[in-house]
Amino acid sequence: MTVGDFEDKNKQRWAEYERLVEAMERGRPGPEAGQLPRRFRELCVDLALAQSRMYGERLTDRLNAQVIRGYEMLYRNRRAGWEKFAEFVAVGFPQALRREWRLLWLCNAVFWLPFVAVMVSAHFDLQWVQAILGSDGMAAMDRMYGGREDQIAHLREEYGSNFMMFCHYIRNNVGIDFRTFAGGMAAGLGSLFFLLFNGIYMGAAAGYVNHAGNPEAFWTFVSGHAPFELLGMVVAGMAGMRLGLALLRPGRLPRVRALAEAARQALPLILGAALMTGLAAVVEGFWSAQLLPSGLKYGVGIAGWVLLIAYFSLAGRRVGDASR
Amino acid sequence: MQPHKYPLAGLYAAGKSPTFGSQLIVTTEKLDTQQAVELAEGVEIRLRVAGPMLRAGAYALDLLIRGVVMIVASIGMGLLGIAIGQRLVTGALLLAWFLLEWFYPVLFEAGKRGATPGKRILGLRVVQATGSPITAGQAIVRNFLRWVDGMPFFTYGCGMASCLATRRFQRLGDLAAGTVVIYERVTPSPALAAPPPITPVPLPVGLSADETRALVRFRERAGLWSAARREEIADQASALSGASGAPGVSRLMAMAHWVQDKKQSAGAGGRNGDRPNKK
């Protein structure tokens, strides 16, 4: 059978197939769309025949392009719905966190140890903190937490400020989470840097206000959103470290393959981190700056910590492994 | 685009053995820049992977589109701000900026077309290394890691280095997500066969499938080259033809003719002759 015979014989089926694929691509599959899988398999056989019979590139290229079109239509992924999202929050994310418990401890240590160390150092010697913050940093802290009354609430008096600050926190903090994750590609160094840097800087800020500012204004402001924001950052660091460790210690896989596998495992972590940081932005935007009794604000902060720790350790325990 | 530079490379180059892709076995195509992927349907498709220059162009287009969207939004919201207050508007713009920065490529690539508007304009598409459409998770991974690819200082130095160091032009985000950027439509390569010799010559030795294909492609494209170029290429396979220069060319042609003849007549009535998918 020559090329021409082969084409003549199958021309009609190919035209029919092209019509079906085109309708699918336009998003208007007709009533006969159910025939597409069969037509697709037929076309695959035609392509295989054309390849093995050496019918030449003109024909194989054409069939190849058509098979790719159909393949992309038939193997499209279904959109994830709300149930999927709810399942992720209730089961997938906490399970992923517990699966990576070693990284959870490591990243927490990398963040909290310098935080506490720098904060405590302010009591003995303020020079460290001054060197870390710099004059601009100290001026900014004075502006926000320096005086007697609640300056943050004053800054938020104009209409719409809360919403603006919420959007600013989303853009800034979630962006930092994503960069912390991406930094993991540098063998984990980028993620470690972000965690360490933020630990030192925030520790310095807290230490400075404790020593030279109005600690109550500071701690009542940060208490509400701190658990979500800080742990969100730590979790983003975990996601980055997962990538970095895959490059450093790929085990028995080739490095590229280990990286792809690690990215799959890191995905729930970075999504969860973004959610936590988003939640923190809501709290920071609409709650933290409200003029309310200090006791209530500290209470909300403690409740946040308890809730998060309970969520991390208990949620999704009774359900089977969601990642399988 | 110069896809078929070394049409006979497969005749003598010792290519790498099949390597593991993300899920299926992906064989490295030795004849040209196309990537052969075997589908579950048992057939091999060929993807043409896009190079870094074209992708940089697509990125520039996307940047332009986002810039225009931001400017138009700023003007529109600025007018709206007179009515509802500047602070609300500033917040909304910050949010829009965040979404455009991180989620613009994710949403478009996870969508039906598998491509951002910039990629669509240039005829590109993101697929898994196996050729199937990418998942939302893969779109997230490859685009969140864009930040490292953009290092240092948004020059895309890391991404470019990674593209040039990998066989399938994958930047770091692509490697982690297991994706490749391909041409959505493969334009057929030009072919112009030289006149066939009258007597087919049987192959002296058995050739692998790739080698046979190289031989047939040589014949199909021989008409595009000058006689000197034809001889130059045929000389690379003089071990097979047993001759060099013009006699070598016509011997290779005769062998290619024999191969096609044999395969096609076997196809007409032989073992795998009849249509296997009759209704």
Give the dihedral of Cα atoms A202, A207, A209, A214; nearest 10 deg.
120
Chain B CB contacts of A175 under 8 Å are 98, 101-102
pLDDT in tens, B16-38: 333 333 344 444 445 566 778 88
B22, B44, B114: residue with CB nearest A260: B22
CB B146 within 8 A of CB B105: yes
Same domain for A58 and A103: no
Domain boundary pick from A32, A55, A74? A74
A45, A67, A264: residue with CB nearest B277: A45
**Between chain A and chain B, how many beta carbons pairs sit less than 8 Å apart?**
178
Partner-chain contact A185 B137, CB within 8 Å: no
Residue B21 domain-assigned?
Answer: no
User: What is the average pLDDT across A53-57?
Assistant: 81
pLDDT value, residue A144: 81
Domain boundary pick from A33, A52, A74? A74
The answer to whether residue A310 scores a pLDDT higher than 60 is: yes
Residue B159 domain-assigned?
Answer: yes
pLDDT value, residue A322: 56
Give the dihedral of Cα atoms B160, B165, B169, B171; nearest 10 deg.
-50
Same domain for A51 and A146: no
Same domain for A119 and A23: no
Residue B17 domain-assigned?
Answer: no
What is the 8-class DSSP label of residue A76?
P
User: What is the average pLDDT across A176-199?
Assistant: 93
pLDDT value, residue A151: 67
Residue B109 domain-assigned?
Answer: yes
- Domain limits for position A17: 3-74
pLDDT value, residue A83: 86
A72 CA: distance to closest CA in chain B (Å): 6
Going through chain A in order, the beta strands assigned E by DSSP cover none
Asked whether the bond before B152 is cis by omega within 30 degrees of 0, the reply is yes
User: What is the average pLDDT across A203-214?
Assistant: 88
Residue B277 domain-assigned?
Answer: no
A23 class by beta-carbon count within 10 Å (0-12 exposed, 13-18 middle, 19+ buried): middle
Same domain for A140 and A32: no
Number of domains in chain B: 1
pLDDT value, residue B47: 86
Residue A203 domain-assigned?
Answer: yes
Which tops the pLDDT comparison, B155 or A156? B155
Distances (CA, A) of A243 to B103, B156, B181: 21, 20, 22
pLDDT range class, residue A258, cuts 50, 70, 90 = very high
Residue A319 domain-assigned?
Answer: no
Same domain for A89 and A64: no
- Domain limits for position B78: 52-183
pLDDT value, residue B245: 84
pLDDT in tens, A9-38: 888 899 999 888 888 888 877 788 888 888
The answer to whether residue A166 scores a pLDDT higher than 70 is: yes
pLDDT value, residue A178: 94
A273 class by beta-carbon count within 10 Å (0-12 exposed, 13-18 middle, 19+ buried): buried
- pLDDT 10s per residue in chain B (279 long)? 334 333 344 333 333 333 333 344 444 445 566 778 888 888 888 888 998 999 999 999 999 999 999 999 999 888 888 888 888 888 889 999 999 999 999 999 988 888 999 999 999 999 998 888 898 899 999 999 999 998 888 888 899 999 898 888 999 999 999 999 998 877 666 777 666 666 888 888 888 877 888 888 888 888 888 889 988 988 888 888 888 888 888 888 888 888 887 777 765 544 444 444 433
pLDDT value, residue A181: 94
Q: How many residues in chain B?
A: 279
Number of domains in chain A: 2
A182 CA: distance to closest CA in chain B (Å): 5
Same domain for A262 and A181: yes
Q: Which residue of B has its CA nearest to A66?
A: B185
Same domain for A235 and A190: yes
Same domain for A90 and A69: no
Residue A263 domain-assigned?
Answer: yes
Chain B CB contacts of A254 under 8 Å are 20
Domain boundary pick from A74, A101, A128? A74
Partner-chain contact B263 A53, CB within 8 Å: yes
Q: Got the DSSP string for A83-140?
A: HHHHHIIIIIHHHHHHHTHHHHHHHHHHHHHHHHHHHHHHHH-THHHHHHHHHHHHHH
CB A124 within 8 A of CB A246: no
Residue A192 domain-assigned?
Answer: yes
pLDDT value, residue A150: 63
Quote the ipTM score: 0.86
Helix axes A101-124, A189-212, angle to 10 degrees: 30
The answer to whether residue A115 scores a pLDDT higher than 70 is: yes
Neighbouring residues of A249: CB distance < 8 A, sequence distance ≥ 6: none
pLDDT value, residue B12: 35
Q: Provide, rounded to the nearest whole percent, the portion of chain A with pLDDT above 90.
A: 42
